Structure 1
Amino acid sequence: MVSPLVVIPARLASTRLPDKPLADIAGLPMIVHVLNAALAAAVGPVIVAAADQAICDVVTRAGGTAVLTDPDLPSGSDRAWQAACRIDPDSRHDLIINLQGDLPTFPPGDLRAVVDLMRDERFDIGTLVAPVTSEAERDAASVVKVACDFSSGQAYAPALYFSRQSIPWGAGPLWHHVGVYGWRRAALAQFVDLPPSGLEKRENLEQLRALESGMRIGCTRIQAAPFGVDTPDDLERARRLLGAAKK
């Protein structure tokens, strides 16, 4: 058995879309949409790890729980770890799920898939992958691909490498990495104490630090990659999608 704690890191500073956690989408701030999805998954307590008081205020008004973290932390993983330590100093939760705060259409069932994966004791970290369905998706540097193999019919597969390039070579399915992680508590504690690794800096992908340190990352499949909000165009698309769903 595992005892999950869901942590949603969020910060106002964003080069392409400043203040995006507070952006209104169909009548709610984006961070509240993500919070509601995590609560609907019903896998465990949910907290928002906020770099800014304004995010804490919005989450609290929505009935959620927020923890104010150091704004100078370098990554969402560091923010998730600091918040988990503050909200759960006695380590009652042995699985920390890091859900990105810019996924307002995230399906709650996909969060449950991460928890199910982490019942497999082979893995230190669990994450999600979805099929690559177009050449544009395959070739986009913004879409992270993962080399993993489900061809023998298994539900879970180890991640062998992550890249912004199309991998692996040859005929067969390609997998789009969805940046939602289930961390065993000890693995996250180890990870945030490690310096950035060589391949991490080269690809600008922090999960390579975990692989280079010897951690095992497990993958489980979902039907489609969730829609992330990184730009003003993304925000308008999210408003159309969730606005239509609300009607």
Structure 2
Amino acid sequence: MTDVKTVILIPARYASTRYPGKPLATLRGSDGVAKPLLQWTWEVARAVPEADAVYVATDDDRIAEAARGFGAEVIMTDPDCRNGTERCADALARAGLSPEVVVNLQGDAPLTPAWFLSDLIGAMRADATLDAATPVLRCDPATLEMFRQDRRAGRVGGTTAVFDGAGRGLYFSKEVIPFTGDAVFDAGDTVPVFHHVGVYAYRPAALAAYLGWAPGPLETLEGLEQLRFLENGARLQCVEVEGRGRVFWELNNPEDVDRIETILRAEST
């Protein structure tokens, strides 16, 4: 295949403990048309001007067939890939691609604005010392309450992030960090919690190194692939992005379908 400077890979698997078949779950927009979650995500990737190519990376024939049905290019990957980062590394090798930047847009975030990815790619291009980068979005009170609702209901929902003054990632968790307890935040307040956006950009060398590292205790306990970079001393940069009035949330559980469809309808009116 022809070399590209920036490629977006959308890793998608059918098996999921919390939500089997999630990439093919349908979401209905304001026009009443239902599309698979994977298609919504692919359309986000296609809207990123810096992307030279977009591929769905999967090991499942059902996902591959659906992706080709709405026009996506597909790279079949090893079924033993343990997470999206490993699947991206495998896809890159199988496709013979040699980009400068690889973007992993996980298939469960149809509300990800294209400018989040543009900002991420820009950060990687501006600083050659970065091994990888990922966006973070400061929570507003409504988003913080969604995190708290999930925790009260015993659901594992979105991920939060903490980072140092230079933006270098310190930790990511499925708990709400830093601890805020029952603190009340009103509209306009500065909420000290950052929502981790499930997108990554990597150098190809960092992806290759990642495959050589065994999952560590933090990654294993949290179930968060990005912690493997931190546990091995790699520089994972948190890039703060702006919502510009848009609400961001991922589809983590079946209960999120109604949340996301409500947001999709509101943003299209």
Q: Which amino acid in the other structure matches residue 198 of structure 1?
A: P
Structure 1, unaligned runs of 5 or more? 151-155
Alignment deviations for residues 106-151 of structure 1 (CA, whole Å, 9 cap, x no partner): 211111111011121231000000113335456546332222245x
d(CA) in 2 for partners of 1:172, 1:34: 28
Deviation at 1:17, TM superposition (A): 2.4
Q: Which of 103, 111, 128 is 1:105 aligned to? A: 111
Deviation at 1:243, TM superposition (A): 4.7
2:46 equivalent in structure 1: 39
- Local SS of the residue matching 2:7: strand
Q: Tell me the percent identity.
A: 35
Deviation at 1:94, TM superposition (A): 2.2
1:196 equivalent in structure 2: 215
Q: Which amino acid in the other structure matches residue 119 of structure 2?
A: A
d(CA) in 2 for partners of 1:145, 1:102: 16
1:153 equivalent in structure 2: none
Is it true that 1:162 corresponds to 2:162 in the alignment?
Answer: no
CA separation of 1:242 and 1:176: change in aligned 2, threshold 3 A: closer
d(CA) in 2 for partners of 1:116, 1:24: 32
Q: Which amino acid in the other structure matches residue 171 of structure 2?
A: Y
CA separation of 1:118 and 1:238: change in aligned 2, threshold 3 A: same
d(CA) in 2 for partners of 1:83, 1:238: 29
- 1:172-211 superposed matches below 5 A: 173-211=192-230
d(CA) in 1 for partners of 2:266, 2:113: 16
1:143 equivalent in structure 2: 158
Does the Cα contact within 8 Å between 1:132 and 1:138 map onto a contact in 2? no
Deviation at 1:244, TM superposition (A): 5.5
- Local SS of the residue matching 1:81: helix
Q: Which of 232, 235, 238 is 1:219 aligned to? A: 238
Deviation at 1:173, TM superposition (A): 2.6
Q: Which of 9, 12, 16 is 1:10 aligned to? A: 12
Does the Cα contact within 8 Å between 1:137 and 1:143 map onto a contact in 2? no
1:64 equivalent in structure 2: 72
1:128 equivalent in structure 2: 135
Structure 2, unaligned runs of 5 or more? 29-33, 181-189
Q: Which amino acid in the other structure matches residue 102 of structure 2?
A: I
What is the TM-score normalised by the length of structure 2? 0.79
Alignment deviations for residues 48-80 of structure 1 (CA, whole Å, 9 cap, x no partner): 001211111111121110112222321111111
Is it true that 1:73 corresponds to 2:81 in the alignment?
Answer: yes
Deviation at 1:39, TM superposition (A): 0.5
CA RMSD of aligned residues (A): 2.5
d(CA) in 1 for partners of 2:27, 2:147: 29
Does the Cα contact within 8 Å between 2:109 and 2:198 map onto a contact in 1? no
- Local SS of the residue matching 1:157: coil
Equivalenced residues, count = 239
Does the Cα contact within 8 Å between 1:146 and 1:175 map onto a contact in 2? yes
